[in-house]
Structure 1
Amino acid sequence: MVKVFRNRLPDIPERGVNGSGISNIAPISKTENEFQAGRSLAYHEVASLIVECSNVFNLPLEALDLFDFNPDNLL
């Protein structure tokens, strides 16, 4: 199951300790314009789905190389 998830998540910006995507996206409350707010909201929705699916399949996020992964930081 881990292999399936890893193959489906190649573009998750926050993969591993040195990820540079989600951690560089400003929370919605601190965005400069509506486009950035929408982008943060979209990342939050996708990241929340990843967390939900990993819980359903009893798969720790660390098994997917997602460390300190908290989608609520984008709100």
Structure 2
Amino acid sequence: MNAYHTTDIAGSGNPQLKDIRRVAESCGIKGWRDMLEEVRSATRQWGRIAGEVGIASSEESRRIGKTLAEIGQHLR
């Protein structure tokens, strides 16, 4: 998978905010921006949560944190 995000949203294998907006609006989802921000807020806490459960120093945890940050950048 070459370390790329593989979710397909609205025909995009690396979805951007516009892709999520298009799907949400076509499905009549109200408040989608607030929902997205809640998810982004939760995923930004990955490092803290990983530290609390004692896995912050693992290679997998670092990769997860990096990937979540990259996905977050696409959704700005």
> Does the pair score TM above 0.5?
no
Which TM-score band (shorter chain)? 0.3 to 0.5
RCO higher in structure (CA 8 A, sep ≥6): 1
- The structure having more radius of gyration, on CA atoms, is 2
What is the TM-score with the length of structure 1 in the denominator? 0.38
